[in-house]
Amino acid sequence: MGREIRGGLATFLAMSYIIVLNPLIIGAAADSTGQYLGGGSEPNLPAVAAATSLISGVLTIVMGVVGKFPMAVSSSLGLSAFITYGIVMLPGMTWADAMGLVVIEGVILLVLVLTGFRSAIFNAVPPPLKIAISVGIGLFIALIGMMNAGFIQNTGGAALELGVGGFVFGWPLLIFLVALFALFVMWSANVRGAILYSIVAATVLAITVESVLRVGPATEEQPYGWDLTVPTLDQDWFTLPDFSLLGEFNLLGSWQSVGVVAATLLVFTLLLANFFDLLGTMVGVSNAGGIKDEQGEIPYSRRIMVSDAIGTIGGGMGSTSVNSGFIESTVGVGDGARTGLANVVTGALFLATIVLAPLAAVIPTEAASATLVLVGFLMMQQIVRIDWNDLEIAIPAFMTVVIMPFSYSITNGIGAGFVTFVVIKVLRGKFREVHPLMCITAAMFILYFVSGPIQDALGVS
């Protein structure tokens, strides 16, 4: 029980940034009618934060109790960004319409799970590709950790660079590096609770540095400041929650605003991305903790998928975007979490932030991001389980691993691996070695990869 509680706390600390970041993505952008989430003419970020805390907490507990799996659930940043910049900007589309699409997509996911189709596709994936998915996710979350800390930055073009202007400088980056190397040393010395210790210690150090030096947030004039949250205790600790966003969705509004064809394409895009994001996250969390039954399968996988579908529906109904499994759950697994009890702890902490909102804002991303780098290393270790001499599986595995971090998308990596696997097998005359569902899934991914131009041709965007 001690390690479950510790793991649940570590997962919360690693992903608590979502309470701050999700409102900045979906709460700060107006829809095509000029209205913000909730229907107002001005952003209501506290309401988005309260809804994010509530929905994340409830759905994480549902995953723990029903799915019996240590995978926390919250708003998917990738799909939140897609909804914000790819859906609500369409002429006539409102935030309520977009959340209605999320609910519909969640219902379809639930049907696919209950009919066994989602599990069938999961079981049709060759084991080496499942390993490649986990390895690719490891590289992906290591990149996320480094970028969240500002250790690696996007220059605004196609290139990434080290630190600011190619140099490592500034107190926040120093906090990240101290946390990272302390974590490496503790982990190599087999210190129990190393991940949790690193986050807490780095946060305390960050608060001390900020209180003395007043570093402040990063700006164009001062690029060496804190990236997302400034670690300070100088704030109001108790706030009354605003739940006005709950239930603010229009189930069929998108069919009227953008048309049946366009709405169908949008649901398909959300469905495919969410479908395989969960597959990748399940595999990553399972492999990180060795959570498998005697047959080498993930236990309670059907329950996990049902819980995830419920999460998507709940996210749409709560106006917090698509809610799905968070890969940061591997942080908790790395610190001992193995059962749904860890999720109950994480969910309870999310619920606590409804009235104790500043708690999550105290933890700077620089303090928590080091854990993602370590988890990336742990997941990368599985790469030796792939037979790199079997080129028919090694090449698709390679495409899966590299496309995830290169395109900044778990779904893209899975799709690239699936399509490559099917193409090689079919063109080499080994069609019978490919499960029919793999062929169907590869075809769906091809359609997904070209869905943007198709939407353009149809005048959807």
How many residues are present in the chain?
461
Average pLDDT along the chain: 83
Asked if residues 399 and 417 have their Cβ atoms less than 8 Å apart, the reply is yes
Closest CA to 73 of 374, 320, 288: 320
Are 183 and 194 contacting, i.e. CB atoms less than 8 angstroms apart? yes
What pLDDT digit, counting tens, does each position of 414-435 carry?
889 989 999 999 999 998 888 8
> 220-225: which pairs have CB atoms within 8 A and are 24 or more residues apart?
223/164, 223/170, 224/164, 224/169, 224/170, 224/171, 224/172, 224/173, 225/170, 225/172
Tokens encoding 447 = 């359609």
The candidate with the shortest Cα–Cα distance to 93, out of 23, 34, 28, is: 34
pLDDT at 461: 47
Burial 369-401 (b: 16+ CB within 10 A, else e): bbbbbbbbebbbebbeebeeeeebbebbbbbbb
Place of tokens 């005048």: 459
> Could you give the CA distance from residue 396 to residue 413 in angstroms, rounded to a whole number?
10
Composition of the chain by helix, strand, coil, percent to 5 = 65, 5, 30
Helix residue ranges per DSSP H, 115-217: 117-124, 127-148, 171-188, 194-213
Contact 268, 260 (CB under 8 A): no
- Name the residue type at position 45: L
Q: What end-to-end distance do the CA atoms of the chain give, in Å?
A: 51
Q: Are 123 and 111 in contact (CB under 8 A)?
A: no
- Side chain identity at residue 379, one-letter code: M
pTM of the model: 0.69
Question: Along the 461 residues of the chain, how does pLDDT read in single tens digits?
Answer: 889 999 999 899 888 878 877 886 788 788 888 898 877 788 787 888 889 999 999 999 999 999 999 999 999 876 787 788 768 877 888 999 999 999 999 999 999 889 888 778 777 888 888 888 778 877 887 887 888 788 887 766 657 888 777 777 788 888 899 989 998 998 888 776 677 778 788 888 888 888 888 877 777 777 777 776 777 777 666 667 889 899 999 988 888 887 776 787 778 767 877 777 787 788 888 888 888 877 778 888 889 999 999 999 999 999 999 998 988 898 889 888 999 999 999 999 999 888 765 555 577 778 877 877 887 887 788 888 899 999 999 999 999 999 988 887 777 888 899 899 999 999 999 988 888 888 888 887 888 788 667 666 655 54
Is the Cβ–Cβ distance between 52 and 26 less than 8 Å?
no
Phi, psi (rounded to 5 degrees) for 318:
-95, 0
> Which DSSP helix (H) or strand (E) runs through 324?
strand 323-325
Give tens-digit pLDDT for 24-36. 678 878 888 889 8
Indicate the DSSP class of residue 167.
B
Say if residues 363 and 13 touch (Cβ distance below 8 Å).
yes
Angle separating helix axes 260-289 and 410-427, nearest 10 degrees: 90
Asked if 109 and 268 touch (Cβ cutoff 8 Å), the reply is: no
